[in-house]
């Protein structure tokens, strides 16, 4: 059995390429269905966020799914040339793949170490795969353990104390360089997701009160606006809202830019040359990058936050060893359990063989002693069961101990030969 991951992330892949590879919720479901049709013997979970696209696969077989096949699958799902994607791909197998998943879920691989969104994103990716029926025992175990690891890191370390997220970095390190104060600024929120809400939380802490929410779903826009004492505008009023805004937070799931350079050029005269801060947290990007070249426009994408996030990481480095210790522990436990799972067929055959012998000998004994009452028969059965369990205990413990270092194939083969265990 094997667990592996193929993907690309903010570490080595520019946003211009990541946004081409990003999956919307509908595209993710279709991709999982397509994977299930093409690779029926493999389990799969697809994680697509602003910072990464990763395909986790698992199989009871020992032969890995070649990275070129997995990469080609990802590329074809998003109509990307596989040759262009290949240089950005990384692949991990076995323990490395498990460690990577746990590290991602615990936010140690995030652009902002300790950011809280990734655990929810991992959980949503896993739940989407469960709904798509592309998971199985191995991915269930891996992702449920990954979420447990993330909770342990959050509760047992201080890595999320005074938690700093991408929105917080954007407000503290970028917006405050442009605006001295926020209490007199008009904020436009495009989209109604978690990133938008967290950015509003930090802006509110800086005194911002004038908030307009625009979203294709009027109900979600109204809910977000109500929570932050703002107001809504319809999707058709986006141009007018942008003309009045000082700050824009855009986090939609659109596959194409919602604000092209040509569209912004028609809005620009109504702004009267006022500074405009745009935080485009969407992948794919909501604002055409060319808009950032316009006078008085300060447009920042997710990748523009990289340097600020790196500074933030230095302040959190002292917490990383404690988090990594938790991950190391959980990886060891998980891999030992995974290797032990591989020995289950031999253990099952060994137990079934001995239980069959037990039943035969009990029946022979009871035939010879017909005068035994029910109480005596029950006590004899219990004694035989206890004897079989005690005899099974040493080989099973030996297998479990050896599983700490990998699948003990030599020991498994020896047991199968010694006790003549048939397939």
Tens digits of per-residue pLDDT, 2-33?
899 999 999 989 888 888 899 988 999 999 99
Architecture of domain 180-305: 3-Layer(aba) Sandwich (3.40)
Is pLDDT at 181 greater than 80 in this prediction? yes
pLDDT tens per residue across span 362-395: 888 888 888 888 888 888 888 888 887 887 777 7
CA separation for the pair 242, 257 (Å, rounded): 15
For residue 239, what pLDDT is reported? 96
pLDDT-derived band at 325, boundaries 50, 70, 90: very high
> What pLDDT, on the 0 to 100 scale, is given for residue 302?
83
The reply to whether 2-162 and 180-305 are identical in fold is no
Name the nearest CA neighbour of 197 among 223, 224, 215: 224
DSSP one-letter code for 252? -
Given the residues 8, 50, 77, 309, select the one marked as catalytic: 50
Q: How confident is the model at residue 108 (pLDDT cuts 50, 70, 90)?
A: very high
Q: Is the dihedral of CA 109, 112, 114, 119 positive or negative?
A: negative
Within 273-343, residue ranges assigned H as helices are 306-316, 320-342
Domain boundaries, the chain: 2-162, 180-305, 343-418
Round to whole Å and give the CA distance between 238 and 219.
Answer: 16
Q: Are 357 and 379 in contact (CB under 8 A)?
A: no
What average pLDDT does range 231-246 have in this prediction? 95
Question: Quick one: average pLDDT of 163-174?
Answer: 72
114, 163 Cβ separation under 8 angstroms: yes
19 SS3 class: helix
Whether 68 is a known active-site residue: answer: no
Question: Is the pLDDT reported for residue 163 higher than 60?
Answer: no
Q: What confidence category does residue 421 fall into, taking pLDDT thresholds of 50, 70 and 90?
A: low
Q: Which pLDDT belongs to residue 127?
A: 95
**Does residue 324 or residue 372 have the better pLDDT?**
324
Choices 3.30.460.30, 3.40.50.970, 3.30.70.1140, 3.30.70.2190: CATH for 2-162: 3.30.460.30
Return the minimum-mean-pLDDT range out of 129-133, 268-272, 405-409: 405-409
- pLDDT at residue 312 greater than cutoff 80: no
Across 245-249, average pLDDT:
94
């Amino acid at each position: 059995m094997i667990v592996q991951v193929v993907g690309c992330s903010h570490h080595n892949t520019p946003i211009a390429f990541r946004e081409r590879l990003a999956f919307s919720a509908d595209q993710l479901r279709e991709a999982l269905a397509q994977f299930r049709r093409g690779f029926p013997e493999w389990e799969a979970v697809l994680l697509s966020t602003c910072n990464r696209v990763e395909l986790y696969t698992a199989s009871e077989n020992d032969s890995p799914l070649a990275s070129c096949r997995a990469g080609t699958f990802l590329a074809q799902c998003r109509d990307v040339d596989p040759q262009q994607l290949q240089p950005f791909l990384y692949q991990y197998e076995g323990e490395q793949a498990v460690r990577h998943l746990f590290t991602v879920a615990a936010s140690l691989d995030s652009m902002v170490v300790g950011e809280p969104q990734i655990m929810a994103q991992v959980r949503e990716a896993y739940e989407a795969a469960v709904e798509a029926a592309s998971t199985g025992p191995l991915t269930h175990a891996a992702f449920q353990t990954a979420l447990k690891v993330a909770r342990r890191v959050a509760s047992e370390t201080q890595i999320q104390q005074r938690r700093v997220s991408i929105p917080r970095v954007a407000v503290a390190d970028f917006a405050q360089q442009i605006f001295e104060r926020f209490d007199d600024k008009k904020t436009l929120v495009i989209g109604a997701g978690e990133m938008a809400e967290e950015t509003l939380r930090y802006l509110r802490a800086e005194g911002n009160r004038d908030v307009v929410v625009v979203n294709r779903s009027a109900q979600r826009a109204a809910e977000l606006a109500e929570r932050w004492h703002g107001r809504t505008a319809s999707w058709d009023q986006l141009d007018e809202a942008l003309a009045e805004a000082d700050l824009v937070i855009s986090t939609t799931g659109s596959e194409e830019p919602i604000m092209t350079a040509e569209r912004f050029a028609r809005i620009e005269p109504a702004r009267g040359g006022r500074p405009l801060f745009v935080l485009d947290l969407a992948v794919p990007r909501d604002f055409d990058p060319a808009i950032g070249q316009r006078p008085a426009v300060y447009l920042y994408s997710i990748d523009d936050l990289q340097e600020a996030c790196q500074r933030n990481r230095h302040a959190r480095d002292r917490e990383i060893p404690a988090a990594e210790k938790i991950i190391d522990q959980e990886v060891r436990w998980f891999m030992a359990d995974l290797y032990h799972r591989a020995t289950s067929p031999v253990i099952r055959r060994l137990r079934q063989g001995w239980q069959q012998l037990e039943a035969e000998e009990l029946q022979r004994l009871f035939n010879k002693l017909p005068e035994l009452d029910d109480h005596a028969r029950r006590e004899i059965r219990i004694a035989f069961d206890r004897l079989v369990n005690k005899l099974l205990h040493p080989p099973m413990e030996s297998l479990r101990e050896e599983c700490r270092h990998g699948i003990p194939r030599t020991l498994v083969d020896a047991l199968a030969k010694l006790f003549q265990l048939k397939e």
